[in-house]
């Protein structure tokens, strides 16, 4: 087992990430303890696990990596830093929003709030499509069914492995060719999921942002059943893109930040231009306000 310390600039909140994972946990693929998050991982033909825990004596996370993934340690460290948003500067983010009358006080009051993102962009893209028009709870239920039905069994057990890790998330090829009847989604959404999976599997769609988040959003929106909300959400949660902004998200529109009347998607999109290039942090803080009042992770998504 390999251990790496990943430092960050305080403040940073383990409880925010624990709550994020707890709401979306996929048993078998992921495991969550009070002070540890673990999951199975795949890079190319290699499979293994990673485990992350906060360190109390210093502003850092400890990343543990299975021996089977040792040659990918550097790449895994980069992905985990992005996943837990460890490279952000909370002082700079607070300063960026300071002049905004609604968000400025909210960001200043909670400077440790970060941008949780996924370990695997394809996995997040699947979650985003499943999450169209349903609550987080309903989307997680359906995603768990996918894992139970199609997740590959963990190929090897080692003494240092978390016993709760038993499966790998289904591959694009597996999802593209699977029979998904009675999975709990409308036929059009199943078709969108399988068309995305097929496009990733055969190389027609590249899930990457090295050419910019806008280019990724444009590529995604060419696929049937994927509109701006889904594409922006994949950029935000799948890649941790700091300026991604799903303006039609009902949690953003109904947040108490805007008062009882709320705000329209057109108005919010126009207002968000002042928050560039950190609109994703605005989304996180607005969602936090909605969650605090409603007690829900987020409401139903808009139609695509």
89 counts as catalytic: no
Q: CA-CA distance, 5 to 53, in Å (whole number)?
A: 10
The Cβ of residue 289 has, within 10 Å, a number of other Cβ atoms equal to: 20
Q: CA-CA distance, 127 to 27, in Å (whole number)?
A: 15
Q: CA-CA distance, 136 to 147, in Å (whole number)?
A: 16
For the cut 90, the answer to whether the pLDDT of residue 302 exceeds it is no
Q: Any idea which residue has 């139609």 for tokens?
A: 303
For the cut 70, the answer to whether the pLDDT of residue 232 exceeds it is yes
| pLDDT interval class at 154 (50, 70, 90) | confident
| Mean predicted lDDT score pLDDT of the chain | 92
Whole-number pLDDT of residue 300: 44
For the cut 70, the answer to whether the pLDDT of residue 217 exceeds it is yes
* CB-facing half-sphere around the CA of 285: CA atoms within 13 A: 27
Considering the candidates 85, 120, 243, 249, report the single residue annotated as catalytic. Answer: 249
| pLDDT interval class at 133 (50, 70, 90) | confident
Whole-number pLDDT of residue 132: 92
For the cut 80, the answer to whether the pLDDT of residue 296 exceeds it is no
Q: How far is CA 242 from CA 7, 209, 221, 284, in A?
A: 20, 12, 19, 10
Tokens of 16: 């925010």
CB 281, CB 115: distance < 8 Å = yes
| pLDDT interval class at 159 (50, 70, 90) | low
Specify the range with the lowest mean pLDDT, choosing from 121-135, 144-158, 194-208, 253-267. 144-158
Whole-number pLDDT of residue 1: 84
Three-class DSSP category at 28 = strand
Tokens of 273: 């231009």
Average pLDDT over residues 202-231: 95
CB 257, CB 78: distance < 8 Å = no
Q: How far is CA 85 from CA 6, 80, 97, 113, 288, in A?
A: 11, 8, 18, 10, 17
The Cβ of residue 216 has, within 10 Å, a number of other Cβ atoms equal to: 25
Average pLDDT over residues 148-159: 79
Pairing of strands 152-153, 60-65: unpaired
Average pLDDT over residues 219-241: 96
CB 49, CB 167: distance < 8 Å = no
CB 128, CB 238: distance < 8 Å = yes
| pLDDT interval class at 299 (50, 70, 90) | very low
Three-class DSSP category at 98 = coil
Q: What is the DSSP letter of 11?
A: P
User: For 18-46, how does the pLDDT look when each residue is reduced to its tens digit (9 = 90+)?
Assistant: 999 999 999 999 999 999 999 999 999 99
For the cut 90, the answer to whether the pLDDT of residue 266 exceeds it is yes
For the cut 90, the answer to whether the pLDDT of residue 181 exceeds it is no
């Amino acid at each position: 087992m390999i251990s790496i310390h990943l430092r960050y600039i305080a403040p940073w909140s383990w409880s925010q990430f624990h709550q994020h994972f707890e709401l979306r946990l996929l048993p078998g693929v992921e495991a969550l303890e009070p002070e540890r998050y673990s999951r199975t991982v795949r890079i190319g033909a290699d499979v293994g696990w990673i485990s992350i825990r906060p360190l109390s004596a210093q502003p850092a996370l400890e990343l543990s990596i299975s021996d089977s993934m040792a040659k990918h340690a550097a790449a895994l460290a980069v992905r985990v830093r992005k996943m837990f948003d460890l490279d952000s500067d909370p002082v700079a983010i607070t300063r960026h929003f300071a002049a905004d009358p609604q968000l400025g006080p909210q960001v200043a009051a909670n400077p440790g709030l970060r941008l949780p993102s996924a370990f695997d962009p394809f996995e997040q893209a699947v979650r985003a499509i499943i999450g169209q028009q349903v609550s987080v709870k309903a989307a997680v239920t359906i995603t768990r069914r996918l894992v139970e039905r199609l997740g590959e069994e963990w190929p090897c057990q080692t003494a240092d492995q978390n016993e709760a890790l038993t499966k790998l998330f289904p591959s694009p090829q597996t999802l593209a060719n699977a029979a998904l009847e009675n999975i709990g989604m409308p036929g059009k959404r199943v078709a969108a999921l399988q068309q995305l999976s097929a496009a990733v599997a055969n190389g027609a769609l590249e899930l990457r942002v090295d050419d910019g988040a806008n280019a990724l959003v444009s590529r995604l929106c060419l696929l049937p059943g994927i509109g701006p909300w889904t594409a922006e959400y994949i950029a935000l949660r799948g890649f941790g893109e700091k300026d991604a902004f799903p303006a039609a998200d009902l949690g953003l529109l109904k947040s108490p930040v805007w008062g009882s009347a709320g705000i329209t998607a057109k108005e919010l999109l126009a207002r968000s231009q002042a928050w560039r290039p950190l609109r994703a942090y605005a989304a996180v803080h607005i969602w936090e306000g909605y969650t605090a009042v409603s007690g829900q992770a987020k409401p139903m998504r808009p139609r695509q």
